[in-house]
Amino acid sequence: MVAETSGTITAHRWLRVEFAALYIGAPLAIALFLPPDGLFTALAIFSVAGLGLLWFTGGFRWRVLVRGWRLIPWLEVMGIAAATLVSGIAILSIAAPEALFSLPRNRPEFLPVIWAFYPILSALPQELIFRPLFFHRYGAILPQGQSAIVLNAAIFAFAHLMYWSWIVAIMTFVGGLIFARAYLRHGLPSAWVLHAVAGNVLFTVGMGVYFYTGNVVRPF
């Protein structure tokens, strides 16, 4: 019994170290040292690493990742689209009016490309890392109930530190709360669709001025 308890304590310590390295150390290193154009490479590496960690964790049913399409809360999807649109217009009207709907005005042919590829190349990898991996592999060391969702949202916001923007931090924290709640209630498809729709609306309204790596300026 003592040996089993000792083994559990050791395993939890390792998970805490791994958690800190993956969700705190890596985003901090990316924000401080990685060239902005290396973001998608880093995201791809993290996605593969995340899937590998899920594989080694054990007890994870991979078919869960594709279950829940019938549970997608379409009213919430429409709600997040409307909220993202309104908040994006409000923020840009004050902070960067020249960016408001800049993409559809100046590069309308590029908009369908974003709509098609953002959900697959950005939203999906992020959801795999910050929802299934987060809650399954590290569930034993997470707080209970709503505290786990708040922690997930905070970690998700911190992962966007590389943009060096308080606007991005606030929006990703709020988004993290919504995506984590959707994942736990309805499954990965719901979190992914909510994330994809929110991201596509952000770029459509012009918030790419904050979320585009080419615009990143480190404050040092």
Q: Is 37 within a domain? A: yes
Greater model confidence, 104 or 217: 104
Indicate whether 1 pLDDT > 70: no
Please check the confidence at residue 130 and state whether its pLDDT lies above 60.
yes
**Predicted confidence (pLDDT) per residue in 41-90, tens digit:** 887 888 888 888 888 887 788 888 999 999 999 999 999 999 999 999 99
Domain around 29: 2-215
State pTM to two decimals.
0.92
The domain tally of the chain equals 1
Q: Provide the pLDDT for residue 27.
A: 92
pLDDT of residue 2 exceeding 70, the answer is no
pLDDT tens per residue across span 180-210: 999 999 999 999 999 999 999 999 999 999 9
Environment class of residue 220 by beta-carbon count within 10 Å: exposed (0-12), middle (13-18) or buried (19+)? exposed
Q: Looking at residue 145, what is its pLDDT?
A: 92
Q: Residue 186: what pLDDT?
A: 96
Q: 11 pLDDT band (50/70/90 cuts)?
A: confident
Which residue matches tokens 């908040």?
87
**Which residues does 2 contact at the CB level (< 8 Å), separation at least 6?**
none
Q: Per the domain annotation, does 23 fall within a domain? A: yes
Instruction: Identify whether 172 is part of a domain.
Output: yes
Determine the average pLDDT of the residues in 126-147: 94
220 domain residue, yes or no: no
In a domain, 96, yes or no: yes
- The DSSP line for 179-214 is HHHHHHHH-HHHHHHHHHHHHHHHHHHTTHHHH-GG
- pLDDT score of 62: 84
